[in-house]
Structure 1
Amino acid sequence: MSIESDYPYVLEILELRHKYYLSYLAENSALHDQWVRDGEGFLIMYSMASRSTLDRVERFYDHIIRVKDNEPVLIMLVGNKCDLFTSREVSKEEGMNMARKLNGNYIERSAETCVNAERAIYGLIKMIRQNREGVNILEEIERK
């Protein structure tokens, strides 16, 4: 997958490991909120081998919506560690249902085996590009 566009894209990647998330937000809430306000799209990743990470996705999404003052947001939900078949706690269907609930797109990836490693980021950039061009991405997602 490649991106052919005249638009510049700046990606800020903020990794919030689940055990540090709440303390991070408490210490850096103003900075984090500014990143969210400036963001055009959000890639939210959870571990398919850990149900608790999927449970936190909705909380993180609610935080984004609150900071964005309820304006529509572009979401790419990513189920990570799809290569761990035997330790999988979250099914593909559950991930897809969560993405629908968030009005977002869904993809599974594996950093270990490089399955869809770049595709999630390119997919989000494509959503942002289409949104900039006036395509109503949220309506497109709802039709799926």
Structure 2
Amino acid sequence: MEKSYDHLFKILFIGDSGVGKLDLLMLLLGEDFNDNLMTRIGIDFKVKTVDIDEKKIKLQIWDTAGQERFKNVTTSYFKGAHGVVLVYDVTDKKSFENIYTWMTEIENKAPENIHIILVGNKCDMEDARQVSPEEGQELADKYNINFVETSTKDFSSFEDTFFHMVKEIKAIIENTYHAASSNPSISLSNPKGTKAAKTTKSCC
């Protein structure tokens, strides 16, 4: 059967449980935000197809509860991934400190040069904030990755950054295939992207 899309990208949502990964994912899928969503248990993925530059991009978006017991299965979870959305809660310092652990998982188990966005979620809750935007940016600079703060009440900054990442992945993939078509010695088996230029946006 003829494919109904031009590219298939695997995107991972990673971070501690309770930081709002599922809420952000649902908003990307166009589903209503629900303050009463229960924390997910297990690993699952959802599919969204978008049009970018006259190409149909099928996004396979994977979500995990972020609980410690699931780190034993992250090798298969990371396999073939093109991008990572790494989320912490700006009102929960521990979830920010655990970004270092998640980055170690990514560096050890994800494809080389995978695209990464560091997301500080719940930035609308200023009275409860424990992590400043400057701390988030400093950490993103340390790893040379994108950074954005957002909230599920107003997530336009995150949405823009997310789809910028998708466009960057698309450009890398298409450039790799174009180069390979001109040079048969270049392998097409698993073209990999590079980290996008750092982007900083405020949410509120």
Instruction: Answer whether TM exceeds 0.5 for this pair.
Output: yes
Q: CA RMSD of the aligned region, Å? A: 2.6
Q: Could you tell me which runs of 5 or more consecutive residues in structure 1 were left unpaired when the two chains were aligned.
A: none
Q: Deviations over 1:29-59 (max 9, x none)?
A: 1xx3222121111000100001101111121
Q: Superposed, which structure 2 residues align to 1:1-144 within 5 Å?
A: 4-5=52-53, 6=55, 8-17=57-66, 21-26=67-72, 29=73, 32-68=74-110, 71-134=112-175, 137-138=194-195, 140-141=197-198
Assess if the C-alpha contact under 8 Å between 1:109 and 1:117 holds in 2.
Answer: yes
What letter is aligned with 1:34?
S
Assess if the C-alpha contact under 8 Å between 1:75 and 1:104 holds in 2.
Answer: yes
In the alignment, the residues of structure 1 paired with residue 109 and residue 132 of structure 2 have an alpha-carbon distance, to the nearest angstrom, of 30
What letter is aligned with 1:125?
V
Assess if the C-alpha contact under 8 Å between 1:76 and 1:123 holds in 2.
Answer: no
2:63 is paired with a residue of what secondary structure?
A: coil
> What's the offset of the Cα at 1:9?
3.2
For this pair of structures, how many residues does the alignment match? Answer: 133
What letter is aligned with 1:11?
Q
2:126 is paired with a residue of what secondary structure?
A: coil
Larger relative helix fraction: 1
What letter is aligned with 2:139?
M
> What's the offset of the Cα at 1:139?
7.4
In the alignment, the residues of structure 2 paired with residue 130 and residue 99 of structure 1 have an alpha-carbon distance, to the nearest angstrom, of 23
Q: After TM superposition, where is structure 1 displaced by more than 4 Å over at least 4 residues in a row?
A: 133-137
In the alignment, the residues of structure 2 paired with residue 134 and residue 126 of structure 1 have an alpha-carbon distance, to the nearest angstrom, of 12
In the alignment, the residues of structure 2 paired with residue 44 and residue 10 of structure 1 have an alpha-carbon distance, to the nearest angstrom, of 17
- CA separation of 1:15 and 1:116: change in aligned 2, threshold 3 A: farther
Q: Deviations over 1:79-123 (max 9, x none)?
A: 000100111000001111111122210111111344535234323
- CA separation of 1:54 and 1:36: change in aligned 2, threshold 3 A: same
Q: Which has the higher contact order (CA 8 A, sep 6+)?
A: 1
**Overall identity of the aligned pairs, in %:** 21
In the alignment, the residues of structure 2 paired with residue 119 and residue 139 of structure 1 have an alpha-carbon distance, to the nearest angstrom, of 13
In the alignment, the residues of structure 1 paired with residue 58 and residue 142 of structure 2 have an alpha-carbon distance, to the nearest angstrom, of 27
